[in-house]
């Protein structure tokens, strides 16, 4: 039966929801979010220990962005494993991906400005009383630049994965809503089930005619009793009892 609801049913949602692709997105975000954590921790450590300067906004924002990435892939795993047919849970995860997309764009901007030398002018401050361990044997400036580039690449991958999730959500939502309006929920089984078809039942009823009774006289020849006395055959009629003497030999 067709409906005018703008909220898809759980059965339609489960049918179109690509659990395998969603699980792959969760794994990608898991891997690259921890990569960002390691890279950003290295950037902060090198800046504080070897250069004795800090960019408070960049340093703090990097860990804040990672916290949103962490919450995002955890929620994706939850909706993949436990609530594949829940539209509400998928919507919640979609909002998490929007936030992850925003914060990945913020982190990309910080990394881009640092790589281009635009971040050093007004965000980095020297740490008073810090003794720099920088030496000429190791070029930590190039190491810091390489770490920033790697973090930018990982942030781009997080951004793209969030975009893919949002696109999948919109696609599945439109398909599921149109499916519900078209009244197809009853015609298609949920994912993982084979369709069943009901064969029409033909009412084959036969009426056995009552047995036909035939009178005994119509089906059998009339019986006669034959007696042989003194060379004569006596035939007695069963109806009228008339006796007829018939000689055995004519």
- End-to-end Cα separation, the chain, in angstroms: 96
pLDDT in tens, 20-71: 899 999 999 999 999 999 998 988 888 777 665 666 777 788 899 999 999 9
pLDDT in tens, 155-168: 999 999 999 999 99
**Contacting residues for 52 by C-beta, under 8 A, at least 6 apart:** 126, 127, 130, 131, 132
What is d(CA 241, CA 28) in angstroms, rounded to the nearest whole number? 113
Domain residue limits, the chain: 10-181, 222-247
Rounded to a whole number of angstroms, the CA Rg of the chain reads 47
What is d(CA 69, CA 151) in angstroms, rounded to the nearest whole number? 13
pLDDT in tens, 221-234: 445 545 555 556 66
Q: Enumerate the H helices of the chain as residue ranges.
A: 10-16, 19-49, 56-81, 87-115, 140-181, 216-219
* Residue whose structure tokens are 């007695």: 236
pTM over 0.95: no
* Residue whose structure tokens are 């050093």: 120
pLDDT in tens, 153-208: 999 999 999 999 999 999 988 888 887 666 555 444 544 455 555 555 656 555 65
pLDDT in tens, 125-147: 555 445 555 555 567 778 888 89
Q: What DSSP character marks residue 55?
A: E
Which tokens hold the place of 93?
A: 């995860």
User: DSSP E strands: which ranges in 180-249?
Assistant: 224-229, 232-237, 243-247
What is d(CA 144, CA 185) in angstroms, rounded to the nearest whole number? 56
Question: What is residue 213's predicted lDDT score, i.e. its pLDDT?
Answer: 55
What is d(CA 92, CA 98) in angstroms, rounded to the nearest whole number? 10
Q: What are phi and psi of 112, to 5 degrees?
A: -65, -45
Q: Which residues pair with 233 in a beta bridge?
A: 228, 246
Question: How far lies 227's CA from each of 164, 224, 240, in Å?
Answer: 113, 10, 17
Question: What is residue 186's predicted lDDT score, i.e. its pLDDT?
Answer: 47
On the 0-12 / 13-18 / 19+ scale of CB atoms within 10 A, 101 is: buried
Q: Indicate whether 6 pLDDT > 80.
A: no
pLDDT in tens, 67-120: 999 999 999 998 887 766 778 888 899 999 999 999 999 999 988 888 887 766
Q: Are 165 and 94 in contact (CB under 8 A)?
A: yes
């Amino acid at each position: 039966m067709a409906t005018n609801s703008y909220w898809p049913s759980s059965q339609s949602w489960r049918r179109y929801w690509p659990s395998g692709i969603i699980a792959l997105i969760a794994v990608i975000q898991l891997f690259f979010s921890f990569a960002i954590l390691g890279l950003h921790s290295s950037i902060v450590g090198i800046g504080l220990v070897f250069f004795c300067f800090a960019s408070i906004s960049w340093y703090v924002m990097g860990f804040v962005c990672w916290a949103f990435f962490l919450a995002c892939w955890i929620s994706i795993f939850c909706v993949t494993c436990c609530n594949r047919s829940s539209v509400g849970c998928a919507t919640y995860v979609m909002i998490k991906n929007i936030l992850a997309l925003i914060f990945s764009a913020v982190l990309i901007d910080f990394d881009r400005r640092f790589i281009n030398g635009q971040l050093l002018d007004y965000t980095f401050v020297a740490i008073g009383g810090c003794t720099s361990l920088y030496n000429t044997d190791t070029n930590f400036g190039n190491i810091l630049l390489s770490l920033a580039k790697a973090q930018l690449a990982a942030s781009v991958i997080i951004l793209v994965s969030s975009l893919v999730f949002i696109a999948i959500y919109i696609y599945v939502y439109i398909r599921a809503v149109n499916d519900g309006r078209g009244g197809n929920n009853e015609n298609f089984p949920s994912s993982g089930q084979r369709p069943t078809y009901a064969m029409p039942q033909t009412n084959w009823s036969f009426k056995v005619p009552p047995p036909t009774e035939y009178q005994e006289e119509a089906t059998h020849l009339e019986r006669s009793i034959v007696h042989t006395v003194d060379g004569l055959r006596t035939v007695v009629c069963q109806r009228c009892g008339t006796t007829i003497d018939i000689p055995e030999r004519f």
